[in-house]
């Protein structure tokens, strides 16, 4: 029981996604001097291991801390959104194993409809600064996040 009337503040939780967002304006792609990072025909961002020289410029450029240098080969690695599976007409493994995610028809109108209504509920409750991060036109480091 709290000694005062203040509501409890739950500071022990960190809600974040640690997967690559395959940003439309991908800073990691822009930072790469060799062109090892490229945008695929599926609008995803992939590292070409045979071209990466391990300079690491992409690592601090990623606003989500997703890109990392492998200590064994010295090259940059990140999620490819299963580029090989997409090329074969399959869905990414994460989408296959997680029922709420269906990448074949992802759009912000279909994927985030429930979350968008959640931010609208917060607006109705007087929380004017609530928004869904990454939606086109919303505040955020990358603008439109694309796939997510």
14-38 mean pLDDT: 86
Asked if residue 142 lies in contact with residue 25, where contact means CB atoms within 8 angstroms, the answer is yes
What is the Cα–Cα distance from 131 to 114, expressed in whole angstroms? 13
User: Taking 80 as the threshold, does the pLDDT of residue 56 lie above it?
Assistant: yes
Position 92 pLDDT exceeds 50: yes
- 132 pLDDT band (50/70/90 cuts)? low
Residue 79 to residue 117: CA distance in whole angstroms: 29
Look at 1 and 119; give whichever has higher pLDDT: 119
pLDDT confidence bin for 109, thresholds 50/70/90: very low
The CA distance from 19 to 68, in Å, is 12
Q: Which of 39, 50, 71 is nearest to 146 (CA)?
A: 39
Q: What are phi and psi of 29, to 5 degrees?
A: -65, -40
Does the pTM exceed 0.75?
no
- What pLDDT does 143 receive? 53
- The mean per-residue pLDDT over the stretch 55-61 comes to 96
Residue 25 binned pLDDT confidence (cut-offs 50, 70, 90)? confident
8-state DSSP, 6: P
């Amino acid at each position: 029981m709290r000694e005062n009337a203040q509501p409890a503040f739950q500071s022990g939780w960190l809600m974040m996604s640690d997967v690559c967002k395959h940003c439309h304006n991908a800073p990691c792609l822009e930072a790469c001097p060799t062109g090892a990072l490229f945008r695929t025909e599926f609008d995803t961002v992939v590292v070409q291991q045979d071209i990466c020289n391990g300079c690491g410029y992409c690592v601090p450029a990623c606003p989500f801390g997703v890109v990392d240098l492998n200590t064994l080969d010295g090259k940059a690695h990140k999620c490819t959104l299963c580029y090989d599976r997409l090329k074969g007409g399959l869905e990414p493994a994460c989408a296959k194993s997680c029922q709420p995610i269906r990448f074949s028809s992802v759009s912000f109108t279909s994927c985030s409809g429930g979350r968008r209504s959640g931010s609208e509920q917060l607006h109705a409750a007087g929380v004017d600064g609530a928004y869904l991060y990454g939606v086109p036109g919303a505040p955020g480091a990358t603008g439109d996040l694309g796939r997510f």
